[in-house]
Amino acid sequence: MSLALKNVKIIGREGRWDVLIEDGKIMRISEEEEAEKVIDCSQKYLSPGFFNTHTHAAMSLLRGVADDRAFWDAWPEIVWPLEENLNAEDVYWGTKLACLEMIKTGTVAFNDMYFFMESAVDAVEDMGMKAVMSYGLIDQNDPDKLEEEIEATKNFVEYAEDSELVEAALGPHAPYTVSKEGLEWCADYAEKNDLLVNIHVGETEKEKKDFGESHEEGFAEYLEKVGLLNDRLIAAHGVWLEKKDMDLFAENGTTISHNPASNMKLAVGKPMDYGTMKKKGVKVTLGTDGCVSNNNLDMLEEAKIAALQQKMPGDATLLDAKECYEMTTKKGAEALRCGSGVIEEGKPADLILIDKGVKGVPTHDIISNLIYSMDSSSITDVVIDGKLVMKDRKVKGEDEIIEKATERAEDLVSGVI
Amino acid sequence: MSLALKNVKIIGREGRWDVLIEDGKIMRISEEEEAEKVIDCSQKYLSPGFFNTHTHAAMSLLRGVADDRAFWDAWPEIVWPLEENLNAEDVYWGTKLACLEMIKTGTVAFNDMYFFMESAVDAVEDMGMKAVMSYGLIDQNDPDKLEEEIEATKNFVEYAEDSELVEAALGPHAPYTVSKEGLEWCADYAEKNDLLVNIHVGETEKEKKDFGESHEEGFAEYLEKVGLLNDRLIAAHGVWLEKKDMDLFAENGTTISHNPASNMKLAVGKPMDYGTMKKKGVKVTLGTDGCVSNNNLDMLEEAKIAALQQKMPGDATLLDAKECYEMTTKKGAEALRCGSGVIEEGKPADLILIDKGVKGVPTHDIISNLIYSMDSSSITDVVIDGKLVMKDRKVKGEDEIIEKATERAEDLVSGVI
């Protein structure tokens, strides 16, 4: 069905426009468009939706179970034992809850790593979102376990091939949880199948210290050695990188998914060095991380926190509002190979409509308002792959998702926390 | 008119309750209450509203005019010249816009310092909010100017006396903008009239350095010397305080209004040292600062940023969700002498109703969800002084406020930015 957004202000462009959406694409932007379905946008702004480049979507079920404790304290004691009890049905409803939250906060595509990923793909398909999805491969240096994990990964990639909305990726969890052989297999398989790869690198100081004790190379050299350091790699966190790591990331076109709220809440010790990364030309995007670390998936909130976190040590000009906005839209879309993230004819229609509300008044600068003042409740409608998945803040099946996810979450933690 | 909140979950209390509100107070909490007006709260949580202990409300008109620049760069060049052109009507509509935003984000009372404060009082009265309000006294060491400012201050205090919702306070702007004589006059006048006093202290490193060059004492010693250091003083920022300052603040029961988002955005160099203040027993509350620094007045957002900012350097246990919640409710109310901030029979009814929505699901811990996950759009209803000022997210006169404040703001910046 074709859709016309009538009389809309497009962020970054002068005037008012009609935008025709057809076959999943922005077909035409002109002064007058008609379509089967028409939305009056005279009170609204049009923006690319947001691209969340690091999530563990189904962790939404565990929101708030491990607050106010550091990663190396809370994860081994609370989070990992709870995850042991997860099943496919949990992941289906947890991912659906996460998608619902992401749609309601303006995210159109996300980059996920978790378990029972076939169920996660089903959830994403049912919600009409776009996602890059990876099975979290962890072998703990056990060759038998690696064989199982390779099998699970291959099965998942095959399963996701049928999906038009999901792009399968590989998910070697981290250099400290995956053997060298495991990382090499991932590099090779991803190369042959042109897949993106997700990994966690340099989140905590302990991780860096432990890595230094068992490896001669730095993080980036090691990733290069195992064949992973290229423009298909998205490395989450990157707080504890050295300048030489950043040089190699920049040279190889590798993306960093910066997760400021998660890093701060888990007390990783310092802000990621965005200033140096920017100078060196590292591709930096934004991610929320999972709902135990953050505890939400709200990219507008993440963008404000990112800017504030970078400025605090002393440079108020670092990571300005426009840069934050590009990071959550254009740059995120590039990293996830969505082809969208901008409003141009012929691009995929992954868009949001925004009503400025009270926090967007006055409007001296709409991008400033969006990043520094407004919250995600100002996003009224979401179009993904040309389809209207949120209309006037309503998403199909909302009540059932909340009910089922609540049941699953309560069962999961029952008797544990 | 009496109001009964039926079948509500009260945060921090087991079970479901009916809450009777009459004569501005929480009259009774029991299993069954009836009243002239009844709200079914079976899907809602009841919480004390939020108390914002540092604002310049009418700066809402200047939201976004000086982003991504440090205080000592942007204020002299942009903000102060714009403020030169403010008039009483601007401040009226700017304060109304701020009140509208605060009500919509769950704030019931705020602590303001600005100019044309008679107009600001009118705005607060018209919106039905509570506020502690102070005229920002600045004499720049000019005795003639001080005389004028004393006159303006006295006139304002007299004007505010008639208001039941506004408590007049004094507002010596800062030790660097007010002479010793000015501060002493404020101390004396506040003492005689039992008034709260607002001041800015230790916001930037430059301020501390300049102060050190012109004074023998530290900040707190100086405030003690001029007679201001007591339990009626609310000092905003306190980032660049020494331990000896904190000792004196604690001994004298002086409140710090912590403004983390503003501090970060203006790149003040480091987080306020909450950990040491807590150990020493300094009273710490939360404030948003004005809309040029932040750029909103959203206390839930501020609470999350406060927790994240404190944890980042390395202690994930510092400033936990419950402490943040108390800071925005109970402790804020104490600092502003509102008598509310808790849900108990006989206390003033300054309350909010909350619908957990998607970001509050699952609800392993409602306070965690409130501080770390939900946003202010989950606040559905606001009761101030026993009156329902927001019902189902609607506030009286919203459209007119947005229209008038927009006009005022556009006129103000026209030809300047």
Residue B309 sits in a domain whose CATH number is 3.20.20.140
| C-beta of residue A76 within 8 angstroms of C-beta of residue A398 | no
What residues in B contact A296, CB-CB < 8 Å?
359, 372-374
- Looking at the structure, do residues B195 and B55 belong to the same domain, yes or no? yes
Q: What gap in Å lies between CA A278 and CA A309, rounded to an integer?
A: 15
Domains of chain A: total: 2
Question: Nearest residue on chain A to B362, judged by CA atoms?
Answer: A406
Amino acid at B117: M
- Answer whether residue A170 is part of any domain: yes
Question: Nearest residue on chain B to A71, judged by CA atoms?
Answer: B316
What residues in B contact A271, CB-CB < 8 Å?
312
Owning domain of residue B14: 3-48+347-393
Q: For residue B295, give the nearest of A104, A318, A368 by CB distance.
A: A368
Q: Per residue in B382-414, pLDDT tens?
A: 999 999 999 999 999 999 999 999 999 999 999
Identify the residue among A60, A62, A63 best suited for mutation to test binding to B, counting B beta carbons within 10 A and taking the highest: A63
- Looking at the structure, do residues B72 and B37 belong to the same domain, yes or no? no
- Answer whether residue B151 is part of any domain: yes
- For every one of its 417 residues, what pLDDT tens digit does chain A have, with 9 covering 90 and above? 899 999 999 999 999 999 999 999 999 999 999 999 999 999 999 999 999 999 999 999 999 999 999 888 899 999 999 999 999 999 999 999 999 999 999 999 999 999 999 999 999 999 999 999 999 999 999 999 999 999 999 999 999 999 999 999 999 999 999 999 999 999 999 999 999 999 999 999 999 999 999 999 999 999 999 999 999 999 999 999 999 999 999 999 999 999 999 999 999 999 999 999 999 999 999 999 999 999 999 999 999 999 999 999 999 999 999 999 999 999 999 999 999 999 999 999 999 999 999 999 999 999 999 999 999 999 999 999 999 999 999 999 999 999 999 999 999 999 776
- Looking at the structure, do residues A237 and A303 belong to the same domain, yes or no? yes
- Answer whether residue A306 is part of any domain: yes
Q: For residue A63, give the nearest of B315, B364, B409 by CB distance.
A: B364
Least Cα separation, residue B54 to chain A (angstroms):
17
What residues in A contact B324, CB-CB < 8 Å?
none
Continuous H helices in A53-131: 71-74, 80-84, 88-104, 117-127
- Looking at the structure, do residues A67 and A126 belong to the same domain, yes or no? yes
What residues in B contact A295, CB-CB < 8 Å?
368-369, 372-373
Least Cα separation, residue A268 to chain B (angstroms):
6
pLDDT of residue A417: 67
Q: Per residue in B125-141, pLDDT tens?
A: 999 999 999 999 999 99
| C-beta of residue A104 within 8 angstroms of C-beta of residue A395 | yes
Contact A67 B372 (CB under 8 A): yes
- Answer whether residue B74 is part of any domain: yes
Least Cα separation, residue A389 to chain B (angstroms):
16
Contact B264 A358 (CB under 8 A): no
Task: Please count the residues of chain B.
Answer: 417
Question: Nearest residue on chain A to B369, judged by CA atoms?
Answer: A64
Least Cα separation, residue A57 to chain B (angstroms):
13
Alpha-carbon distance values, A33 to A2, A4, A26, A37, B381 (Å): 11, 6, 12, 11, 40
Least Cα separation, residue A305 to chain B (angstroms):
7
| C-beta of residue A294 within 8 angstroms of C-beta of residue B321 | no
Query: Of all residues in chain B, what percent carry a pLDDT higher than 70?
Result: 100
- Looking at the structure, do residues A31 and A164 belong to the same domain, yes or no? no
What residues in A contact B65, CB-CB < 8 Å?
364
Please give the average per-residue pLDDT across B231-253, as a whole number.
98
| C-beta of residue B307 within 8 angstroms of C-beta of residue B322 | no
Least Cα separation, residue B338 to chain A (angstroms):
26
Question: Nearest residue on chain B to A416, judged by CA atoms?
Answer: B364
Identify the residue among B265, B315, B324, B359 best suited for mutation to test binding to A, counting A beta carbons within 10 A and taking the highest: B359
Amino acid at A211: F
Question: Nearest residue on chain A to B405, judged by CA atoms?
Answer: A362
What residues in A contact B290, CB-CB < 8 Å?
none
Q: For residue A321, give the nearest of B67, B294, B321 by CB distance.
A: B67
CATH for A358: 2.30.40.10
Question: Nearest residue on chain A to B400, judged by CA atoms?
Answer: A358
Q: For residue A264, give the nearest of B97, B101, B312 by CB distance.
A: B312
Q: Per residue in B346-358, pLDDT tens?
A: 999 999 999 999 9
- Answer whether residue B368 is part of any domain: yes
- Looking at the structure, do residues B227 and B358 belong to the same domain, yes or no? no
Question: Nearest residue on chain B to A94, judged by CA atoms?
Answer: B362
- Looking at the structure, do residues A64 and A83 belong to the same domain, yes or no? yes
Q: For residue B267, give the nearest of A65, A316, A364 by CB distance.
A: A316
pLDDT of residue A70: 87
ipTM of this predicted complex?
A: 0.98
What residues in B contact A268, CB-CB < 8 Å?
312
- Looking at the structure, do residues A76 and A123 belong to the same domain, yes or no? yes
């919509």: which residue's tokens?
B104
* Bridging pattern class, strands A37-40 and A45-48: unpaired
Identify the residue among A240, A264, A408 best suited for mutation to test binding to B, counting B beta carbons within 10 A and taking the highest: A264
Q: Count of H helices and E strands in chain A?
A: 16, 16
Q: Whole-structure pTM over 0.95, yes or no? A: yes
Q: Compute how many other C-beta atoms are within 10 angstroms of the C-beta atom of residue A213.
A: 7
- Answer whether residue B400 is part of any domain: no
Please give the average per-residue pLDDT across B100-104, as a whole number.
98
| Cα distance between the two ends of chain A | 47
Contact B70 A316 (CB under 8 A): yes
Summary mean pLDDT of chain B: 97
- Looking at the structure, do residues A43 and A54 belong to the same domain, yes or no? no
- Looking at the structure, do residues A40 and A81 belong to the same domain, yes or no? no
Residue B416 has pLDDT above 80, yes or no: no
Please give the average per-residue pLDDT across B31-57, as a whole number.
98
* B415 band by pLDDT with thresholds 50, 70 and 90: confident
Q: Per residue in B183-233, pLDDT tens?
A: 999 999 999 999 999 999 999 999 999 999 999 999 999 999 999 999 999
- Looking at the structure, do residues B137 and B269 belong to the same domain, yes or no? yes
- Answer whether residue B412 is part of any domain: no
pLDDT of residue A123: 98
- Looking at the structure, do residues B271 and B174 belong to the same domain, yes or no? yes
Q: For residue B267, give the nearest of A291, A312, A362 by CB distance.
A: A312
Contact A406 B362 (CB under 8 A): yes
- Answer whether residue A183 is part of any domain: yes
Closest Cα to residue A342, out of A100, B100, A333?
Answer: A333
Please give the average per-residue pLDDT across B370-378, as a whole number.
98
What residues in A contact B410, CB-CB < 8 Å?
362
Helices A117-127 and A88-104, packing angle to 10 deg? 40
Contact B364 A307 (CB under 8 A): no
Question: Nearest residue on chain A to B368, judged by CA atoms?
Answer: A64
The DSSP string of A299-349 is HHHHHHHHHHHHHTTT-TTSS-HHHHHHHHTHHHHHHTT-S-SS--TTSB-
| C-beta of residue B32 within 8 angstroms of C-beta of residue B8 | no
What residues in A contact B308, CB-CB < 8 Å?
261, 264-265, 305, 309
Contact A104 B413 (CB under 8 A): no
